[in-house]
Amino acid sequence: MSLYLKQIEQLAALQKIDDEIMQLNAFLKNAPLELERMQIRSSELRDAVKELNEKIAQIVGQRDQLDKDIEDAGLKIKKSKNKLMMVSNSKEHQAMMREIDNLEKMNRNREEEKVSVMEEIVGQEESLTEVQKELADLQQEISQKKKQINQKLQSSKERLKTLQGQRGEAEEVIPKPILSRYQFIHSRLSQPVVVFVDQGICKGCNISIPPQTYNVLQKGEQILSCPNCHRIIYWAGHFAEEES
């Protein structure tokens, strides 16, 4: 294998290490954020449970008050009807009848209101059950996620140390001018930094490189960069020949 191809392989190996380092760093950064979002949602659900319980208690209070009012009015109606039997004056009789009618009408309204209140209680209790289930499921998920994240964080940190050691070894093998160019491009462009060219097309930006540059690239004598995206490029045919 020529010195040129060795240098390209070394750069590709360095890029593979950098890819994994980037993925591990992204995980180390994002994993705690994901857990934090879940805990925020858990707090929101606990607040929702508290609010629903308070609302249900308030509605139950309304229902109990309606029951009391209906019972009190029923007693008044019963007393009024008993008095009605002893009234001999037609004027008093009519007055008591109006009073009984009003009490019975109020009680009918209360009964209708009580039906609506009972329906609302059922609806709120159903909502509470759903929220409580979601909260229980989320808390279980958080518990499992914490274990998974802690295990992955530990293994990721250990792997990161290994990769950083491998990166240091790879940097020692690559000539400094080429390494400097790689690091310069890596600091300014997203991965990949090293890409192949096939049929004159750069696979980093999918744009044709000039024919003269393509001819020089095929000779395999020097490390070149794509004139369009500035990534380090190599001719795919070199490695196809090397494999055969």
User: Which range marks the domain in which residue 75 is found?
Assistant: 18-174
Helix boundaries (H) for 174-223:
176-188, 211-219
- What is the number of domains present in the chain? 2
What's the whole-number mean pLDDT along residues 195-221? Answer: 93
- In this prediction, residue 244 has a pLDDT band, given cuts at 50, 70 and 90, of very low
What is the reported pLDDT for 243? 45
The reported pLDDT for the residue numbered 148 is 83
* For residue 41, pLDDT beyond 60: yes
For the residues 121-140, what does the mean pLDDT come to? 95
Average pLDDT over residues 208-216: 94
Q: Find, among 200, 198, 188, the residue nearest to 229 by Cα.
A: 188
pLDDT above 70: percentage of residues in the chain? 98
| CATH (domain of 88) | 1.10.287.1490
**Confidence (pTM):** 0.56
Q: What pLDDT is recorded for position 240?
A: 67
Query: Would 9 be classed as within a structural domain?
Result: no
Residues 131 and 125: their CA atoms lie apart, in Å, by 10
- Both ends of the chain: CA-CA distance in Å? 12
Q: Is residue 13 in some structural domain?
A: no
Residues 145-201 pLDDT 10s: 888 888 888 888 888 888 988 888 888 878 888 889 898 988 888 778 999 999 999
Residues 58 and 45 in one domain: yes
Judge whether 10 lies within some domain.
Answer: no
Q: Give yes or no: residues 167 and 183 share one domain.
A: no
